[in-house]
Chain A
């Protein structure tokens, strides 16, 4: 299953690389048993950027994030973070090194309260740091503050998404991986979540965003990659990708 479809087309020179490369995937191949899920992915994320991965179901977006956060490990290829090779590092130590991951489907701890969920997010941090970060998260998501003692499972979908993002922020990551943050949310909430993502980025957190909602993602992102059956088929600055014929047809719903 190696004949990947389209040729790699780089649209235009990148526009907004703010800093040095923070996260780098070089020819990464990841497997689920015998299934060859990532077939040689190379991605750069620079400090301060929002980079988005778009593509159809099964293209390998979630697998890419899991390979970065250490839930999966590449069979060949390298993942480096701030210059260190993290290809074999287990997930729980990567949190300490600055990689935060809000996984697909929110995965909040439903039988823990909102506060306990946030405390879990700060598992790797000291008590004093946590107090400060809690205020920061309540600042971004005032709704969470109103619901501190409620069970995570009793929140609405949008609130759970806020909790999932807030929880990941509690570890104060330098790069935040967001997997489908807009999934299942109402249009107004989608807008809200996207503007919060921009705000998190403006406060200095680098973001790697996976989205089905390609148009929204390309609106807030600096750069994007299009994934197809485990390979990068297109990459470039977000604005140019929005103009790209193939992207418009395949992912922005134009006919």
Chain B
């Protein structure tokens, strides 16, 4: 059927055209890859903000620190059990190492996320909304201080397992590392979309987000659904943390604050509660940042990001893709 083809092709064309425009604006491949990697990290974190907000209307201010925590877990797995020190040249071996780092990091972070929900947020579910918000800030401090007391205040190096080989692409040099990272992030986002959009549990999550009591009457275990949401959100933050560590080469205990704030901006920009919006928002924020740097105003990049946030909140509070609230008939 024709409308179906249009429906499938339209977003692909839009994405392709925007990517070309961004590539041109950023003056070529080098900055473009920076944009993609940064965008992937922001998008992965923003998804967590938006999912948690969607289901319990909580801005989880600890989410940026979950990302930081995930970066440390990945760093620890690389250095201690795997004992990595330098680059691994065998692609197969490299892939195995990445799986062995990323998968456990995501699982550990997922469990930590559900643990936090169970003991910090669930007891406050019927409390005034300010209470869980303040608790989230408290959890953020706890996570930072746990890492601080174990790994100390200074940046910790992450073993660079990726060889520095690059290849020429459209007049710029692309590292396998960034290509690989972007591919993983996109893969995870597609997986998430399919899970939320097509599966029984995904439907339960969307139903719970819209009308908790009605979902309960369908037989949905609300506590379980919220726990699963936190698991996924934190696991994605863990994936983002792994990418962050490998890409930038070091991690620090206060890393979560700024990255978290930007990812939160991305979630609001895309329309909080909307997963596609969060991914889009992540890449928009990354573009603004990289573009500001490209123009020579790298010191102003954060100002630009938060200016955009203010403009969105003033002129389109529901975000780029956000629905108007209160549409229940």
Which of A's residues lie within 8 Å of B, judged by CB?
A: 69, 71, 90-93, 95-96, 101, 103, 106-112, 116, 119-121, 123-124, 153, 155, 157, 160, 167-168, 171
Contact = CB atoms under 8 A, between A and B. Distances in A.
Interface string B211-251: 10111111111100000000000000000000000000000
Nearest to B202: A116
25 contacts: A92-B218, A92-B219, A92-B222, A95-B217, A95-B218, A95-B219, A96-B219, A103-B214, A106-B329, A107-B214, A107-B217, A107-B328, A108-B214, A109-B211, A110-B210, A110-B328, A112-B203, A119-B200, A120-B203, A120-B207, A121-B218, A153-B328, A153-B329, A171-B218, A171-B219
Contacts of A123: 200, 203-204, 218-220
B323 interface: yes
A124 B217 CA distance: 11
A153 B325 CA distance: 12
Top 6 nearest A-B pairs by Cβ distance? A95-B219, A124-B219, A107-B214, A91-B216, A123-B219, A123-B218
A111 B204 contact: no
A134 to B, nearest CB: 15
Nearest to A171: B219
Contact of A120 (B204, B222, B323, B327): B204
B219 A112 contact: no
A109 B217 contact: no
B118 interface: no
Contacts of B206: 109, 111-112, 116
A109 B219 contact: no
Contact of A153 (B215, B218, B221, B327): B327
Contact of A101 (B217, B220, B222, B328): B217
Nearest to B323: A111
Given A96-B219, A123-B200, A112 B329 contact: no
B206 to A, nearest CB: 6
- Size range of the interface on B? 20 to 34
A32 to B, nearest CB: 13
A157 B329 CA distance: 8
Contacts of B214: 103, 107-109
Contacts of B210: 109-112
Interface of B: 200, 203-204, 206-207, 210-211, 213-222, 323, 327-329
Nearest to A152: B329
A110 B217 CA distance: 16
A153 B220 CA distance: 21
A112 B206 CA distance: 8
Nearest to A164: B214
B217 A103 contact: yes
Nearest to A154: B329
Contacts of B220: 92, 120, 123
B207 A110 contact: no
Nearest to A127: B200
> Which of B203, B217, B222 neighbours the largest number of chain A CB atoms within 10 Å of its CB?
B217
Nearest to B225: A92
A121 B219 CA distance: 8
Contacts of A101: 217
A101 B216 CA distance: 10
A160 B329 contact: yes
B222 A71 contact: no
Contacts of B219: 92-93, 95-96, 123-124, 171
Given A103-B217, A107-B213, 14 more contacts: A90-B216, A92-B219, A92-B220, A106-B329, A107-B217, A110-B210, A111-B210, A112-B203, A112-B210, A119-B200, A120-B207, A120-B218, A153-B327, A171-B218
B200 to A, nearest CB: 7
Contacts of B203: 112, 116, 119-120, 123
A92 B213 CA distance: 10
A156 to B, nearest CB: 9
Contacts of A90: 216
B207 A109 contact: yes
A110 B329 CA distance: 8
Contacts of A92: 216, 218-222
Nearest to A156: B329
A139 B324 CA distance: 34
Contacts of B328: 107, 110, 153
A157 B328 CA distance: 11
Contacts of B218: 92, 95, 120-121, 123-124, 167, 171
